Structure 1
Amino acid sequence: MNIIQEIISAEKPKPFATINGKGVYTFYDANLVNQQALAEQKLNGREFDMGGRDFRPNGMGIRRIRADVVAMNPNTWFSNRVHKVEVLDEEGKVKETMYEVVNDYRAIKEQNTGNVYCKHLTCWVIGKHTNGGVTCKGSRTISDDEFVKDFTDELDLESAMKAALAIDRYQKKTGTNQIQLKF
């Protein structure tokens, strides 16, 4: 088996998200997808383009860039800040543990300066679902001072993906969707 057939027969990477019908991959997986597409074109004897630009007729700019694969760092995509909240019962024992999650990328990047671009941020309340998964129990608005002072922890990538799915389901259920994402 030659190298082109090995590339084609390799397992196809799976996107970690979908935007407008296009898969979003890690940089490594996006490279594999591109290699497989180029290898298939080469094996079939088709002429292929290595990423040339389609210039406007006047030559003064690019009409469109041929991008079939979207790549992004998943840690950037799912960046978050978390505050742990424990709900106590009448006896003072922990009845439920919930997490308040802020996933506003700009606010997260500005958090270490102490000055966030807006005075009020949306915070998602994430808790355990009855079937063992996670669910979004609602949202609330927090001040920028509360965000800077209290939201110092971060979810790991797997937990952040589960929280993002829960937030997406909640937005679809309540009709507050602003962006349609599929994970």
Structure 2
Amino acid sequence: MKRCKVCNKLADNGAKRCQRCGTEFEYKRWRMLFSETRIILGILVIALVGWIVYNAVPLPLPDPTQCSETSVKRFERVANNYFTETRNILRSEILFTRELSMLRSYKNEAESIPVHPCLEPAKAELVEYLDDVYFIGLYSSWGAYQAAAYKTESAGAYWDSFNSELDAVKQCLPNCP
């Protein structure tokens, strides 16, 4: 910030004239480069790039040798990624075999995730949820909407059960059996 010598009002470093009295400020090249507006915009750009990179980098799988808060958060983030991906697939109007095979591959990937024994019940619920999501897509592509509605309710129950299992694990951390 710089101060006007005539009216004593504060102004931004990038301002060329005082807003109150109109007095022209002397030009200081290095001071003008680092105005508050440019600094704030630079920080916002850096934060945005950091957030994009954080979401783009694949998350490492949870450590199966220990039941820690980090492992639980990683597993929860992996599960939330599956949840959003399956919802995005089911939103499409027509499901082709490519989408159905992606739904099945999500289930197979979830089965192969190595987790600590304290996370096994939550993993089982996640696998059951993904299995139901596959059948929702399959029944919808066949036109069996009542069966798809039943599987949707079942998948919702599995997802709620998964979240309750994760909450139970979070309560007993770090001394889970």
TM-score tier by shorter-chain length is under 0.3
Q: Name the one with the larger strand percent.
A: 1
TM-score, length of structure 2 as denominator length:
0.23
When Rg is computed on C-alpha atoms for both structures, the one with the higher figure is 2
Q: Name the one with the larger helix percent.
A: 2
